[in-house]
Amino acid sequence: MPLDRLTPRRIALIKPSALGDIAHSLPVLTALRVRFPAARITWVVNTAYEPLIRNHPDLTDTLPFDRGMFRRGVWNSARYAAGFAAELRSRQFDLVIDLQGLFRTGLMCLATGAPHRIGFANAREGSRHSYTRKISVPDADRIHAVDRYWRIVEALGAGDVPKRFHLPLDPGEVASVRAELAELPRPWIAVAVGAKWLTKRWPTTHFTELLSRAQSRFGGTALFVGAGDDTAMSQEVIAALGEPRGSSPWSVEPTGMNPVAHTMSRDFTGRTSLPRLAALLSVSDAMLGNDTGPLHLAAALGRPCVAPYTCTKVALHGPYTSMSGGVETSVPCGGSYIKTCDKMICMPELTPDRLWPTFAEVLDTWQRKHLHSQAS
């Protein structure tokens, strides 16, 4: 049967991780709900990320996958894997979509026993052999991850559905974050200085220089976010920024247009749950960060983003709703997608001066809108 004629009753969307990839997958979920309004849709997701999508209106439920169980010995791992496979089978899915394309997700597909298992023809680690239908993406190395995932939506006959990044926010978390930030000068700039890949970590000195320049002109508060492992880098930038740093005629308080005499920083690195991180990013006025989860989460929430791109490419993994904010290195090895490097020539080449025009434009746009709203 052609894929665009399927009428599944129970759908499994397999995309366990990571944070940025989950953000990129959100349009697929909403398109599935539009295409199959009466179907039960379950997202198979790593336990750590499940709170972020738990209350998504387009989901029927989630099926958390505890990857950490596989670090607790052979017996515990085998027992957990068998139990999880049995749970997948018991759900009686008739359509499974694997957006991850790895060995473990291929095994999940097989474990479901679903008659229709869809994935990409170029999926890695042999996972493609678990699919009953393989979607070919010959230009996968030239299109964004969001558009690559969308090829499955097109194959299912829902390609005319608008791409929507809908992320459920906890109203209580949003209210709490707003109360916590209420006395801090705006613009509120979310900042993510960390990254798992060494080759994605723009130097902290570059972040310091760019933020110093921004705060000298626009004032505001830098809100540092990220995983606990990023705390030391955040603290390094916060210490270098210092406080106070002198008056700024451009900075405005959240309740008026009075100038403030100092710049501000607040460290939330490793101190937020995912729902609270989403709430924090949703109220931020701009996002500055490396090519990591918080950046793509901010983009999914519609925040204007600015990001240095060294080992990855904007065209493939830029902040999708804010692609003009990605600034790439121009060294020959840029966009090589290697995780470690003994040269790192991209870092001194991609200077704060290269990002400043884009960052200044984002903040200037915010400032004009903010001042207009305050005056009206």
Is residue 242 over pLDDT 90? no
- Least confident range from 103-117, 158-172, 235-249: namely 235-249
Q: How far is CA 44 from the centre of its chain?
A: 17
pTM comes to 0.92
At the top level of CATH, which class does the domain 172-375 belong to? alpha beta
Where is 287: in which H helix or E strand?
Answer: strand 286-289
pLDDT interval class at 59 (50, 70, 90): very high
How far apart are the C-alpha atoms of 207 and 237, rounded to whole Å?
7
Is residue 298 over pLDDT 70? yes
pLDDT interval class at 244 (50, 70, 90): very low
The DSSP code sequence of 40-54 is: EEEEEEETTTHHHHT
Mean pLDDT of 99-110: 97
How far apart are the C-alpha atoms of 86 and 106, rounded to whole Å?
15
pLDDT score for 216: 94
Is residue 233 over pLDDT 60? yes
pLDDT score for 262: 45
- Least confident range from 51-60, 71-80, 249-258, 312-321: namely 249-258
| Cβ neighbours of 294 (radius 10 Å) | 29
Go through 345-367 and write b for each residue having 16 or more CB atoms within 10 A of its CB, e for each that does not. ebbeebebebbbebbbebbeebb
Q: Which residues pair with 362 in a beta bridge?
A: none
Is residue 140 over pLDDT 60? yes
pLDDT interval class at 67 (50, 70, 90): confident
pLDDT interval class at 57 (50, 70, 90): very high
Give yes or no for a cis peptide into 18 (omega within 30° of 0).
Answer: yes
Query: How far, CA to CA in Å, does 283 sit from each of 165, 286, 307?
Result: 16, 9, 19
Where is 221: in which H helix or E strand?
Answer: strand 221-224
Token code pair at residue 101: 């394309």
pLDDT interval class at 263 (50, 70, 90): low
Is residue 358 over pLDDT 90? yes
Is residue 376 over pLDDT 50? yes
Mean pLDDT of 88-102: 98
CB 301 within 8 A of CB 281: yes
**Secondary structure of residue 120 in the 3-state scheme:** strand
Residue of 61, 63, 51 whose CA lies nearest to 168: 51
CB 324 within 8 A of CB 246: no
pLDDT score for 354: 98
| Mean pLDDT score across all residues of the chain | 93
- Least confident range from 136-150, 230-244, 341-355: namely 230-244
The two domains 3-155 and 172-375 share their CATH topology (first three levels equal): yes
DSSP label at residue 187: P
Is residue 260 over pLDDT 50? no
pLDDT interval class at 361 (50, 70, 90): very high
pLDDT score for 73: 79
Superfamily of domain 3-155: Glycogen Phosphorylase B; (3.40.50.2000)
pLDDT score for 238: 96
pLDDT interval class at 264 (50, 70, 90): confident
pLDDT score for 315: 98
| Domain-wise residue ranges, the chain | 3-155, 172-375
| Cβ neighbours of 238 (radius 10 Å) | 21
